[in-house]
Protein backbone atom coordinates (compact mmCIF):
# COMPACT_ATOMS: atom_id res chain seq x y z
CA UNK A 1 0.00 0.00 0.00
CA UNK A 2 1.26 3.46 -0.91
CA UNK A 3 1.10 4.94 2.58
CA UNK A 4 3.41 7.88 3.32
CA UNK A 5 5.79 5.88 5.52
CA UNK A 6 6.59 3.63 2.58
CA UNK A 7 6.79 6.48 0.09
CA UNK A 8 9.22 8.26 2.40
CA UNK A 9 11.38 5.12 2.66
CA UNK A 10 11.55 5.12 -1.14
CA UNK A 11 12.54 8.82 -1.14
CA UNK A 12 9.33 9.82 -2.95
CA UNK A 13 8.06 12.04 -0.10
CA UNK A 14 9.88 14.19 2.45
CA UNK A 15 7.70 13.31 5.45
CA UNK A 16 5.41 10.53 6.65
CA UNK A 17 2.88 12.53 8.69
CA UNK A 18 -0.74 11.57 8.05
CA UNK A 19 -2.41 14.19 5.85
CA UNK A 20 -5.75 13.69 7.59
CA UNK A 21 -5.08 13.71 11.31
CA UNK A 22 -1.70 15.47 11.06
CA UNK A 23 -0.20 14.03 14.22
CA UNK A 24 0.70 10.43 13.40
CA UNK A 25 3.00 8.52 11.10
CA UNK A 26 0.95 7.26 8.16
CA UNK A 27 1.68 3.53 8.30
CA UNK A 28 -0.56 0.75 6.97
CA UNK A 29 -1.80 0.09 10.50
CA UNK A 30 -2.58 3.77 10.99
CA UNK A 31 -4.46 4.16 7.69
CA UNK A 32 -6.52 0.98 8.14
CA UNK A 33 -7.12 0.91 11.89
CA UNK A 34 -6.27 4.19 13.61
CA UNK A 35 -7.03 7.16 11.36
CA UNK A 36 -10.35 9.01 11.62
CA UNK A 37 -12.45 7.00 9.14
CA UNK A 38 -10.91 3.68 10.17
CA UNK A 39 -11.46 4.39 13.86
CA UNK A 40 -15.11 5.20 13.19
CA UNK A 41 -15.59 1.94 11.30
CA UNK A 42 -14.00 -0.23 13.99
CA UNK A 43 -15.83 1.55 16.83
CA UNK A 44 -19.15 0.64 15.19
CA UNK A 45 -18.39 -2.98 14.35
CA UNK A 46 -18.76 -6.15 16.36
CA UNK A 47 -15.03 -6.88 16.23
CA UNK A 48 -13.92 -3.77 18.15
CA UNK A 49 -13.20 -5.67 21.39
CA UNK A 50 -11.22 -8.35 19.57
CA UNK A 51 -9.29 -5.69 17.71
CA UNK A 52 -8.23 -4.08 20.99
CA UNK A 53 -6.36 -7.30 21.84
CA UNK A 54 -4.62 -7.62 18.47
CA UNK A 55 -0.86 -7.05 18.16
CA UNK A 56 0.23 -3.69 16.77
CA UNK A 57 3.76 -4.42 15.54
CA UNK A 58 2.91 -4.61 11.84
CA UNK A 59 -0.11 -5.04 9.62
CA UNK A 60 0.99 -8.57 8.69
CA UNK A 61 1.26 -9.57 12.34
CA UNK A 62 -2.15 -8.06 13.14
CA UNK A 63 -3.84 -9.62 10.10
CA UNK A 64 -2.47 -13.09 10.85
CA UNK A 65 -3.62 -12.80 14.45
CA UNK A 66 -7.13 -11.72 13.43
CA UNK A 67 -7.34 -14.48 10.82
CA UNK A 68 -6.52 -17.08 13.46
CA UNK A 69 -9.28 -15.79 15.76
CA UNK A 70 -12.12 -15.45 13.24
CA UNK A 71 -14.18 -17.79 11.12
CA UNK A 72 -13.59 -17.66 7.39
CA UNK A 73 -16.73 -15.63 6.68
CA UNK A 74 -15.82 -13.07 9.38
CA UNK A 75 -12.30 -12.77 7.96
CA UNK A 76 -13.89 -11.72 4.67
CA UNK A 77 -16.06 -9.17 6.46
CA UNK A 78 -13.01 -7.71 8.18
CA UNK A 79 -11.29 -7.52 4.79
CA UNK A 80 -14.32 -5.60 3.50
CA UNK A 81 -14.02 -3.12 6.38
CA UNK A 82 -10.30 -2.66 5.70
CA UNK A 83 -11.13 -2.01 2.07
CA UNK A 84 -13.69 0.59 3.13
CA UNK A 85 -11.24 2.27 5.53
CA UNK A 86 -8.64 2.59 2.77
CA UNK A 87 -11.23 3.90 0.33
CA UNK A 88 -12.40 6.57 2.80
CA UNK A 89 -8.79 7.51 3.50
CA UNK A 90 -8.05 8.03 -0.21
CA UNK A 91 -11.29 9.92 -0.87
CA UNK A 92 -10.40 12.39 1.90
CA UNK A 93 -6.92 12.98 0.49
CA UNK A 94 -7.37 12.71 -3.27
CA UNK A 95 -11.09 13.16 -3.84
CA UNK A 96 -11.64 16.11 -1.52
CA UNK A 97 -14.75 14.42 -0.11
CA UNK A 98 -15.76 13.05 3.27
CA UNK A 99 -17.80 9.85 2.88
CA UNK A 100 -19.71 8.25 5.74
CA UNK A 101 -17.28 5.54 6.95
CA UNK A 102 -19.97 3.36 8.53
CA UNK A 103 -22.11 3.39 5.38
CA UNK A 104 -19.06 2.76 3.23
CA UNK A 105 -18.10 -0.26 5.37
CA UNK A 106 -21.67 -1.58 5.29
CA UNK A 107 -21.71 -1.35 1.50
CA UNK A 108 -18.38 -3.11 1.15
CA UNK A 109 -19.45 -5.88 3.53
CA UNK A 110 -22.60 -6.28 1.43
CA UNK A 111 -20.42 -6.64 -1.66
CA UNK A 112 -18.46 -9.39 0.11
CA UNK A 113 -21.71 -11.11 1.10
CA UNK A 114 -23.08 -10.89 -2.44
CA UNK A 115 -19.86 -12.30 -3.86
CA UNK A 116 -19.94 -15.20 -1.40
CA UNK A 117 -23.53 -15.94 -2.40
CA UNK A 118 -22.53 -15.89 -6.07
CA UNK A 119 -19.38 -17.99 -5.56
CA UNK A 120 -21.25 -20.67 -3.63
CA UNK A 121 -23.53 -21.17 -6.61
CA UNK A 122 -21.01 -20.83 -9.40
CA UNK A 123 -17.68 -22.14 -8.15
CA UNK A 124 -19.00 -24.74 -5.72
CA UNK A 125 -21.67 -26.26 -7.91
CA UNK A 126 -21.48 -29.93 -8.80
CA UNK A 127 -19.78 -31.34 -11.87
CA UNK A 128 -19.24 -34.85 -13.12
CA UNK A 129 -16.51 -37.17 -14.36
CA UNK A 130 -17.52 -39.61 -17.07
CA UNK A 131 -15.80 -42.86 -18.07
CA UNK A 132 -16.75 -45.21 -20.91
CA UNK A 133 -14.96 -48.57 -21.23
CA UNK A 134 -15.15 -50.38 -24.58
CA UNK A 135 -13.72 -53.64 -25.86
CA UNK A 136 -11.63 -54.05 -29.02
CA UNK A 137 -14.78 -54.00 -31.14
CA UNK A 138 -16.06 -50.78 -29.61
CA UNK A 139 -18.86 -52.39 -27.58
CA UNK A 140 -19.49 -50.82 -24.19
CA UNK A 141 -18.37 -52.85 -21.20
CA UNK A 142 -18.77 -50.29 -18.46
CA UNK A 143 -19.73 -46.68 -17.75
CA UNK A 144 -18.85 -44.74 -14.61
CA UNK A 145 -20.06 -41.36 -13.36
CA UNK A 146 -18.59 -39.57 -10.36
CA UNK A 147 -19.76 -36.26 -8.96
CA UNK A 148 -17.14 -33.70 -7.95
CA UNK A 149 -17.03 -30.05 -6.93
CA UNK A 150 -16.82 -27.74 -9.94
CA UNK A 151 -13.15 -27.23 -10.79
CA UNK A 152 -11.03 -25.63 -13.47
CA UNK A 153 -11.49 -27.47 -16.80
CA UNK A 154 -7.89 -28.69 -16.98
CA UNK A 155 -8.01 -30.10 -13.44
CA UNK A 156 -11.36 -31.79 -14.14
CA UNK A 157 -9.98 -33.36 -17.34
CA UNK A 158 -6.94 -34.69 -15.47
CA UNK A 159 -9.19 -36.05 -12.72
CA UNK A 160 -11.31 -37.79 -15.37
CA UNK A 161 -8.26 -39.62 -16.71
CA UNK A 162 -7.16 -40.60 -13.19
CA UNK A 163 -10.69 -41.78 -12.41
CA UNK A 164 -10.84 -43.83 -15.62
CA UNK A 165 -7.56 -45.56 -14.80
CA UNK A 166 -8.51 -46.34 -11.19
CA UNK A 167 -11.91 -47.67 -12.36
CA UNK A 168 -10.25 -49.98 -14.87
CA UNK A 169 -7.93 -51.35 -12.20
CA UNK A 170 -10.83 -51.88 -9.79
CA UNK A 171 -12.53 -54.06 -12.38
CA UNK A 172 -9.42 -56.09 -13.17
CA UNK A 173 -8.33 -54.52 -16.46
CA UNK A 174 -4.54 -54.33 -16.77
CA UNK A 175 -4.30 -53.13 -20.37
CA UNK A 176 -5.83 -49.87 -21.50
CA UNK A 177 -5.89 -47.28 -24.25
CA UNK A 178 -6.92 -44.01 -22.61
CA UNK A 179 -8.47 -41.41 -24.91
CA UNK A 180 -9.08 -37.80 -23.88
CA UNK A 181 -10.07 -34.65 -25.75
CA UNK A 182 -7.82 -32.56 -23.47
CA UNK A 183 -4.67 -32.25 -25.58
CA UNK A 184 -2.81 -30.23 -22.93
CA UNK A 185 -3.34 -32.94 -20.31
CA UNK A 186 -2.34 -35.80 -22.63
CA UNK A 187 0.77 -33.83 -23.58
CA UNK A 188 1.62 -33.13 -19.93
CA UNK A 189 1.33 -36.84 -19.09
CA UNK A 190 3.40 -38.11 -21.99
CA UNK A 191 6.07 -35.40 -21.66
CA UNK A 192 6.24 -35.87 -17.86
CA UNK A 193 5.76 -32.20 -16.92
CA UNK A 194 6.36 -31.34 -13.26
CA UNK A 195 5.43 -28.41 -11.02
CA UNK A 196 3.88 -27.33 -7.71
CA UNK A 197 0.40 -26.36 -8.94
CA UNK A 198 -2.56 -28.64 -8.03
CA UNK A 199 -2.75 -30.02 -11.57
CA UNK A 200 0.67 -31.63 -11.16
CA UNK A 201 -0.44 -33.61 -8.09
CA UNK A 202 -3.12 -35.24 -10.27
CA UNK A 203 -0.57 -35.92 -13.00
CA UNK A 204 1.55 -37.68 -10.40
CA UNK A 205 -1.46 -39.85 -9.48
CA UNK A 206 -1.88 -40.73 -13.15
CA UNK A 207 1.77 -41.75 -13.44
CA UNK A 208 1.47 -43.90 -10.31
CA UNK A 209 -1.62 -45.62 -11.74
CA UNK A 210 0.20 -46.08 -15.05
CA UNK A 211 2.75 -48.31 -13.32
CA UNK A 212 -0.03 -50.70 -12.26
CA UNK A 213 -0.91 -51.53 -15.89
CA UNK A 214 0.84 -54.05 -18.11
CA UNK A 215 0.07 -51.81 -21.08
CA UNK A 216 -1.31 -48.26 -20.95
CA UNK A 217 -1.44 -45.88 -23.90
CA UNK A 218 -2.63 -42.26 -23.86
CA UNK A 219 -3.94 -40.50 -26.95
CA UNK A 220 -5.82 -37.36 -27.88
CA UNK A 221 -9.15 -37.44 -29.70
CA UNK A 222 -11.33 -34.63 -30.96
CA UNK A 223 -14.12 -33.53 -28.66
CA UNK A 224 -16.80 -34.78 -31.02
CA UNK A 225 -15.27 -38.25 -30.71
CA UNK A 226 -15.70 -38.17 -26.93
CA UNK A 227 -19.38 -37.29 -26.73
CA UNK A 228 -20.44 -40.51 -24.98
CA UNK A 229 -18.12 -39.84 -22.04
CA UNK A 230 -19.46 -36.29 -21.75
CA UNK A 231 -23.04 -37.60 -21.72
CA UNK A 232 -22.09 -40.12 -19.01
CA UNK A 233 -20.48 -37.32 -16.97
CA UNK A 234 -23.71 -35.31 -17.08
CA UNK A 235 -25.84 -38.28 -16.05
CA UNK A 236 -28.22 -37.89 -13.12
CA UNK A 237 -27.13 -40.20 -10.32
CA UNK A 238 -29.32 -38.70 -7.61
CA UNK A 239 -27.70 -38.39 -4.19
CA UNK A 240 -24.99 -40.92 -5.05
CA UNK A 241 -21.40 -39.80 -5.41
CA UNK A 242 -20.65 -42.50 -7.98
CA UNK A 243 -22.60 -44.77 -10.31
CA UNK A 244 -21.02 -47.63 -12.28
CA UNK A 245 -22.96 -49.63 -14.85
CA UNK A 246 -21.83 -52.88 -16.44
CA UNK A 247 -25.15 -53.51 -18.19
CA UNK A 248 -28.61 -51.96 -18.64
CA UNK A 249 -27.09 -48.81 -20.06
CA UNK A 250 -29.50 -45.88 -20.61
CA UNK A 251 -30.96 -45.79 -24.11
CA UNK A 252 -29.52 -42.32 -24.76
CA UNK A 253 -25.99 -43.59 -24.08
CA UNK A 254 -26.49 -46.72 -26.19
CA UNK A 255 -27.84 -44.70 -29.12
CA UNK A 256 -25.02 -42.16 -28.98
CA UNK A 257 -22.45 -44.94 -28.68
CA UNK A 258 -23.82 -46.61 -31.80
CA UNK A 259 -23.69 -43.30 -33.70
CA UNK A 260 -20.15 -42.82 -32.46
CA UNK A 261 -19.10 -46.21 -33.83
CA UNK A 262 -20.83 -45.67 -37.16
CA UNK A 263 -19.01 -42.36 -37.67
CA UNK A 264 -15.57 -43.90 -37.12
Express each pLDDT in 222-246 by its tens digit. 877 788 898 899 888 888 889 999 9
pLDDT value at position 196? Answer: 66
- In this prediction, the residues of the chain whose per-residue pLDDT falls under 50 are none
> Of 92, 122, 152, which closes a domain?
122
pLDDT value at position 52? Answer: 87
Q: Find the length of the chain.
A: 264
pLDDT value at position 30? Answer: 92
pLDDT value at position 121? Answer: 62
Q: Say if pTM beats, i.e. exceeds, 0.85.
A: no
Beta-carbon neighbour count of residue 118 at 10 Å? 10
Q: Do 143 and 57 fall into the same domain?
A: no
Q: Do 114 and 130 fall into the same domain?
A: no
> Of 122, 152, 172, which closes a domain?
122
Q: How many domains does the chain have?
A: 2
The whole domain housing 13 covers 4-122
Amino acid sequence: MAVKSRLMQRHILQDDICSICGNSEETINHALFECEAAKTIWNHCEFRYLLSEAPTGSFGERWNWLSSKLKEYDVLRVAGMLWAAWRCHNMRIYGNSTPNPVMMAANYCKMVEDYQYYAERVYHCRAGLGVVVRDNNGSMLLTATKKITQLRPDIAEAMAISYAMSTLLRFGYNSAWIESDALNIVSAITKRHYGAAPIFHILEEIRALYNAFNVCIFSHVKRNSNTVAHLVARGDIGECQELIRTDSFPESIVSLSMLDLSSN
